[in-house]
Homo-oligomer: A and B are copies of this chain.
């Protein structure tokens, strides 16, 4: 469903939110450990997320990645769009270039329902809300 890059991105952003809610900035080393992902690869993804305004960063000592009021409305949907693009929301399930209700693939109608449920999943809570759940221990970003 999501690329590995995207899975890392989602977990990283929630991790950063958890830290930000406690007033801390995070560096790639902490983040990659916190979400059990390769460090350099995670760092690359973080750069993309900063460019796409999902998170913010600051260089130098006392620097790091963080989230604030500017990012409060963001959801996992925004992360997926930033990393994987709109393929899972727009593309045909069977990969047809042209697939519409007028000219549907055999899966078309049922695939729409899956897609709608997916959109609900990705937009029903903000990243901040998800981070609060993780902060409370109601959900986890990794197993150690």
Contacts and interface: CB of A to CB of B under 8 A. Distances in A.
Q: Which size class do A's interface residues fall under?
A: 35 or more
Interface in A63-111: 76, 88, 93-98, 103-108, 110-111
Interface stretch (A26-34, A38-46, A50-58, A135-143): A135-143
Given A1-B88, A117-B117, A142 B110 contact: no
B110 A7 contact: no
Contact of A106 (B2, B14, B88): B14
A25 interface: no
A118 B138 CA distance: 26
A142 B119 CA distance: 27
A16 interface: no
Contact of A94 (B7, B95, B105): B7
B121 A110 contact: yes
Interface string A6-24: 0100110010000000000
Interface of A: 1-2, 4, 7, 10-11, 14, 76, 88, 93-98, 103-108, 110-111, 113-114, 117-118, 120-121, 124, 130, 133-134, 138-143
